[in-house]
Amino acid sequence: MSLLHAVTAVLPAAAVDTQVGSPLLNIAVFAGFVIVTLTIVIRVAGGQKTAAQYYTGGASFSGRQNGLAIAGDYLSAASFLGIAGAIALQGYDGFMYSIGFLVAWLVALLLTAELMRNTGRFTLADVLSYRLQQRPVRIAAATSSLAVSFFYLLAQMAGAGGLVALLLGLNSLWAQYVVIAVVGAVMIGYVLIGGMKGTTWVQMIKAVLLIAATSIITVWVLGKYGFNLSALLQGAVDNSPEAGSALLDPGLKYGLSELSKIDFVSLSMALVLGTAGLPHVLIRFYTVPTSVQARKSVEWAIWLIGGFYLLTLVVGYGAAALVGPDAINAAPGKANSAAPLLAFELGGSVLLGVVSGIAFATILAVVAGLTIASSATFAHDLYNYVFRKGQATPEEEVRVARWAAVAIGVVAIVGGILAYGQNIAFLVALAFAVAASANLPTILYSLFWGRFNTRGALWSIYGGLASSLLLITFSPVVSGSETSMITNQAVDFAIFPLANPGIVSIPLAFFLGWLGTVTSSEHNEQKWAEVEVRSLTGHGVAEAVDH
The CATH number for 382's domain is 1.20.1730.10
Poorest-pLDDT segment among 132-141, 362-371, 415-424, 460-469: 415-424
pTM confidence score: 0.84
Query: What band does 427 get if pLDDT is binned at 50, 70 and 90?
Result: low
Query: What band does 510 get if pLDDT is binned at 50, 70 and 90?
Result: very high
Tell me if 165 is assigned to some domain.
yes
The whole-angstrom separation of Cα 458 and Cα 477 is 28
Tell me if 353 is assigned to some domain.
yes
Tell me if 438 is assigned to some domain.
no
Angle at 242 between CA 241 and CA 244, to 5 degrees: 60
AA letter at 453: N
Tell me if 441 is assigned to some domain.
no
Tell me if 149 is assigned to some domain.
yes
Q: Are 508 and 464 in contact (CB under 8 A)?
A: yes
The whole-angstrom separation of Cα 316 and Cα 234 is 13
The whole-angstrom separation of Cα 484 and Cα 476 is 6
Q: Are 180 and 157 in contact (CB under 8 A)?
A: yes
Q: Mind listing the pLDDT tens digit for each residue in 248-283? A: 888 777 777 778 888 888 988 988 898 888 888 888
AA letter at 167: L
Angle at 270 between CA 117 and CA 510, to 5 degrees: 70
Q: Are 357 and 30 in contact (CB under 8 A)?
A: yes
Q: CA–CA distance from 129 to each of 79, 300, 333, 345, 481 (Å)?
A: 34, 30, 44, 54, 42
Per-residue pLDDT at 433: 85
CB count within 10 Å of CB 133 equals 14
* Residue 226 belongs to domain spanning: 30-421
Query: How many structural domains is the chain composed of?
Result: 1
Q: Residues with Cβ < 8 Å from 33, sequence gap 6 or more?
A: 209, 357, 358, 360, 361, 364
AA letter at 143: T
Dump strand ranges (E) for 65-132. Answer: none
Tell me if 356 is assigned to some domain.
yes
Per-residue pLDDT at 9: 38
Tell me if 198 is assigned to some domain.
yes
Tell me if 317 is assigned to some domain.
yes
